């Protein structure tokens, strides 16, 4: 029953999705990333420990990821089709998982927060959330698949894949695979990745209601 409404929704959105694939979007994206990286270099001249744990660069990443989560949840709330809602919920949960795994709350010394975001309690509630989301997707099939297929060929998905590349490079720096370890270089890649993830969320949220 959901297939036909989902197909109709995707057809209505075709023009808007092509708009997001314009070359100008990529030029703007590249300029913003360059500006962010330049600001980090400039900031390091005033604060040599800019890349420290829970410092400005990490806080920027947390803000981007949290904003992306909120954008996806808003998209899910206003979604008119099951496919749209499932896609947005899945992406929100992906960002939540990413944020939880990247965020080190142990330094804050809050016992209940440490208990929730570390070890088996974290794995339990995250795993449960993924199982519930999977059940939701299966029950609404094939609408989520149609929505994902249309989204995956857009600027939003491409930017998210590029963000993934940035995080992989950051991990390579952290592991020493790309030469000498450098916390600042690692955070530079992660700043770019976090910003691209936010842009992907913003682009997805701009799909017509």
Give 143-165 pLDDT, tens digit per residue: 899 999 888 888 889 999 999 99
pLDDT at 1: 44
pLDDT at 21: 59
pLDDT band at 209 (very low <50, low <70, confident <90, very high): very low
Give 133-146 pLDDT, tens digit per residue: 999 999 989 989 99
* Token pair in block for residue 56: 């400005």
**pLDDT score of 42 more than 90:** yes
Query: What is this structure's pTM?
Result: 0.84
């Amino acid at each position: 029953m959901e297939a036909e409404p989902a197909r109709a929704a995707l057809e209505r959105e075709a023009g808007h999705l092509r708009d997001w694939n314009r070359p100008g979007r990529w030029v703007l994206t590249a300029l913003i990333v360059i500006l962010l990286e330049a600001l980090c270099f400039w900031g390091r001249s005033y604060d040599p420990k800019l890349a420290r744990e829970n410092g400005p660069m990490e806080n920027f990443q947390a803000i981007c990821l949290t904003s992306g989560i909120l954008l996806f949840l808003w998209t899910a709330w206003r979604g008119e089709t099951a496919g749209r809602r499932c896609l947005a919920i899945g992406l929100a949960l992906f960002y939540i998982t990413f944020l939880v795994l990247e965020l080190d709350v142990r330094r804050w010394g809050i016992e209940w927060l440490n208990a929730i975001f570390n070890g088996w309690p974290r794995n339990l509630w995250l795993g449960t959330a993924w199982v519930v989301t999977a059940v939701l997707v299966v029950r609404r099939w094939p609408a989520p698949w149609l929505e994902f297929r249309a989204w995956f060929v857009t600027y939003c998905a491409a930017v998210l894949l590029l963000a993934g590349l940035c995080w992989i490079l950051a991990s390579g720096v952290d592991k020493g695979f790309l030469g000498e370890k450098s916390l600042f270089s690692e955070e530079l890649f992660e700043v770019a990745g976090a910003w691209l993830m936010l842009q992907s969320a913003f682009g997805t949220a701009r799909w017509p209601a």
